[in-house]
Amino acid sequence: MSTVVNEPSSAIPASSVAGPVQIQRRPLNKKELASEHPTWCPGCGDFSVLAIYLKLVEKRQLDQERLVSVSGIGCSSRFPYFVQAHGAHFIHGRSIPFACGISLSRPDLHVFVFGGDGDIFSIGGNHITHAARKNIKLTVVIMDNFVYGLTKKQTSPTSPIGYKSKTDTLGAIDQPINPVKQVIAAGATFVARTSHTNPNHLLQMMEAAMDHDGFSVIECLSECVEFYPGAFDAANPRKGGAFNLVPPDHDVTDELAAYRLASAPFPGHFGIFYQVKRPTKNALEAQLNARAREKYAGLQDWQILQQSFNRMK
Ligand SMILES: Cc1ncc(C[n+]2csc(CCOP(=O)(O)OP(=O)(O)O)c2C)c(N)n1
Ligand code: SF4
Ligand SMILES: [Mg+2]
**In this predicted structure, what is the pLDDT of residue 257?**
98
User: How far out from the chain centre does Cα 294 lie?
Assistant: 35
Q: Give the largest Cα separation in the chain, rounded.
A: 75
Q: Are 194 and 141 in contact (CB under 8 A)?
A: no
Q: Helical H runs in the chain?
A: 30-33, 46-59, 95-105, 117-118, 125-134, 179-186, 199-211, 255-262, 281-295, 301-312
Three-state SS at 30:
helix
* Terminal C-alpha separation, the chain: 56
**In this predicted structure, what is the pLDDT of residue 307?**
87
Nearest CA to ligand 2 atom 5: 40
Domains (range + CATH), the chain = 1-27 (no CATH), 34-278 (3.40.50.970), 283-313 (no CATH)
DSSP assignment letter at 237: G
> In this structure, are strands 269-275 and 154-155 parallel, antiparallel, or unpaired?
unpaired
Mean pLDDT by runs of 10 across the 313 residues of the chain is 43 48 79 89 98 96 93 98 94 98 96 98 98 98 98 98 98 98 98 98 98 98 98 98 98 98 98 98 96 93 90 89
**In this predicted structure, what is the pLDDT of residue 37?**
85
Question: Cα(36) to centroid of ligand 1, in Å?
Answer: 22
Q: Which of 147, 197, 143, 137 is nearest to 167 (CA)?
A: 147
Ligand 1 close to Cβ of residue 124 (< 6 A): no
Is the model's pTM score more than 0.85? Answer: yes
**In this predicted structure, what is the pLDDT of residue 19?**
60
Find the residues whose C-beta lies inside 6 A of ligand 2. Answer: 40-41, 44, 46, 75, 145, 149-150, 224-227
Question: Cα(39) to centroid of ligand 2, in Å?
Answer: 9
The reply to whether omega before 267 is within 30° of 0 (cis) is yes
Question: Cα(226) to centroid of ligand 2, in Å?
Answer: 6
Compute the distance between CA of residue 11 and CA of residue 9 in angstroms, rounded to an integer: 5
**In this predicted structure, what is the pLDDT of residue 36?**
76
